[in-house]
Amino acid sequence: MKLTSRSVSLVPIIATVAATALGATLIVTATANAATTLGAAAAQSGRYFGTAVAAGKLGDSTYVNILNTEFTMVTAENEMKWDATEPNRGQFSYSAGDRILNHAVGNGKRVRGHALLWHQQQPGWAQALSGAELRRAAINHVTQVATHYRGKIHSWDVVNEAFADGGSGGRRDSNLQRTGNDWIEEAFRAARAADPGAKLCYNDYNTDGINPKSTGIYNMVRDF
C-alpha cells in the first residue's frame, strides 16, 4: 500500500529535564493516551491517514487486515478513472469502484474518488476525440460518474496533474487542454452540480511549497 493522505504527526511526548551537578538527564514519557494505529495517531491532530486500494487485492486477508486496522481514508487506485468507468462511450462500469467503496464504507472509512479527468488512462475512444467533441464527452463523463457516487464520496479529485513540470507554471499540453483553457473550471462546475456535498479537489505533485507550479494552480483557482 502507498500512503496518499496528509502526513501523520508524531505522538506527543512529555519531556522532563533534571539537571544535576554531573550533567543533565532527559526523561521522555509517552502520553497515556498514545494512539495504537496510524489512523488514530493522525486523528489526534485532526488529520486522516489514507491509502490507495486495488479492488483485486480485497481478497488478500493480510492486505485487508492492514487496510481495516491502520487507515481511515480509502482512494481507489485505478478503478474510478476514465478508462475503468467508461470503457466504451456512454457505457459505464462501476463494479470495481463500487467494491472498493462498499468495503470502505462497511468498515467505517471515508472514500476519496480519483480521478474524474486526467490526460492519462483515458479510454481509446476518448483519445480519438478532440476539440468540442472531446469536451462534451469529458463533461458528460464527470457528470455521470459523480452522479453515480453522489452522497457516497467524501472528496473527488476532479482533475489530475494538469500543470506542466519545470518552471513555467503553465498548463500541461494535453488533448483536454487543447479543448480550451476553461476545461478545468467546467469540469469542477459539472462535478459540483452532480454532487453538491462532496469536497472537490485538484490533485498534482511537487506543489507542497511555493514554486511556479503551485503558484499557477493557486492563480487558476482564484480565477474560477
Give the model confidence (pLDDT) of 90-123 as tens digits: 999 999 999 999 999 999 999 999 999 999 999 9
Residue 73 lies inside a defined structural domain of this protein:
no
- State whether 45 and 88 are in the same domain: no
pLDDT at site 33 = 60
Instruction: Write down which residue in 42, 67, 92 finishes a domain.
Output: 67
State how far the Cα of 33 lies from the Cα of 43, in Å rounded to an integer: 12
- State whether 42 and 122 are in the same domain: no
Instruction: Write down which residue in 34, 67, 100 finishes a domain.
Output: 67
pLDDT tens digits for 79-93?
999 999 999 999 999
Residue 72 lies inside a defined structural domain of this protein:
no
CATH number for the domain harbouring residue 219? 3.20.20.80
State how far the Cα of 101 lies from the Cα of 118, in Å rounded to an integer: 21
pLDDT at site 199 = 98
- State whether 55 and 96 are in the same domain: no
pLDDT at 27 over 80: no
Residue 39 lies inside a defined structural domain of this protein:
yes
- State whether 142 and 191 are in the same domain: yes
pLDDT at site 34 = 72
Question: How many structural domains does the chain have?
Answer: 2
State how far the Cα of 133 lies from the Cα of 141, in Å rounded to an integer: 12
The pTM of the full predicted model, rounded to 2 decimals, is: 0.84
pLDDT at 70 over 90: yes
- Cell 482533475 belongs to residue: 159
Residue 182 lies inside a defined structural domain of this protein:
yes
Residue 224 near residue 188 (C-beta atoms within 8 A): yes
> The domain containing residue 17 runs over which residues?
1-67
pLDDT at 192 over 90: yes
Percent of the chain with pLDDT over 90: 84
- State whether 58 and 93 are in the same domain: no
Q: What is the mean pLDDT of residues 37-60?
A: 96
Q: What is the mean pLDDT of residues 168-182?
A: 98
Higher-pLDDT residue of 197, 23? 197
- State whether 91 and 187 are in the same domain: yes
pLDDT at 2 over 90: no
Instruction: Write down which residue in 67, 96, 115 finishes a domain.
Output: 67
pLDDT at 35 over 80: yes
